[in-house]
Amino acid sequence: MSVIYDFTGKVVLITGSSSGIGAATAVQFAQSGASVVVTGRRADKVAEVGEQCLKVSPKGIKALEVTADVTKREDMRRLVDQTIKHFGKLDILVNNAGLNARPTDEDFYEKYETVMTINLNSVVYLTHVCVDCGSSHVLTLLVVLVFEFSGLSRQSHGASGGFTPVAARVGSSLTTCAVDMFTKCMAAELGPKRIRVNLGADTHRFFTTMGATQGDSDKLFEAYAKKLPVGRYGLSEDIAGSILYLASDHAAFVTGTNLVCNGGAVAVNALYSEILKIVV
């Protein structure tokens, strides 16, 4: 990846950054000069991404590696505290962790509660903690990210948001709508504090982390790619690029918006429900 943005001197915390979009985002921020906090539940995966960040960092800045579980408030508080203690401040927060629950699952309600905790509650709580720490430390930007591919297709950009539900994606659909409104409300609330809040919604290649087999994931996205104007599915690096844009000075006048990065799915109404028939 060629370096487009300069995040030298910025400290970036990315949840769920031990794999997928989060990992790609951490690496791109590191390559752009940022000091990065890599976190996830598996220490080995966190260490792998931390090593990648060190390799691409122009000044050889070592990432702060923190093993944490965003379902636990004490872990989220510790995550922010360690970031402040290690780097002295926090500039950018990317809430990236996410799951889905299908209504046909036998243990649906138990999964649903976990989905709400990770996809919504952790975003709200971690945002609160970071804004609170901003009273004594510099917090210049807040970015909220959620997975669109597992829950919703964005069909319009009108005032109502234009969300369309997809079968078997009730968990992520509910939380995506909630986070979208949370983003708008927080943008209005935090604007006077010069904190921007945006939502990045996406479609990308990796579906296995949401519970599908690799074969089903391949089948789903090969079919879906054929319906997109760009003719391919999205990669984690594509989504990471949109996140870096939202976090950069190039987006200084952008807040309270949902930046949909999905290869033109909105333009052609490429509904997920048609593709999900293959695997659901």
Domain boundaries, the chain: 11-277
Question: How many angstroms separate the CA atoms of 185 and 162, rounded?
Answer: 17
Give the per-residue pLDDT at 62: 98
> pLDDT at position 141, please?
46
Please report, in tens digits, the pLDDT of each residue of the chain (280 residues total): 677 899 999 999 999 999 988 999 999 999 999 999 999 999 999 999 999 999 999 999 999 999 999 999 999 999 999 999 999 999 999 998 777 666 667 788 888 888 889 889 999 999 999 988 765 444 444 555 544 433 333 333 322 233 556 666 677 778 888 888 999 999 999 999 889 999 887 655 445 445 556 677 677 777 777 777 887 777 888 889 989 999 999 999 999 988 887 777 767 665 554 444 544 4
Q: How many CB atoms lie within 10 A of CB 215?
A: 10
What is the reported pLDDT for 163? 53
Q: How far is CA 125 from CA 8, 97, 175, 189, 202, in A?
A: 27, 13, 14, 15, 23
* Residue 169 pLDDT: 67
3-state helix, strand, coil in the chain (%, to 5): 45, 15, 40
Q: Assign domain 11-277 to a CATH class.
A: alpha beta
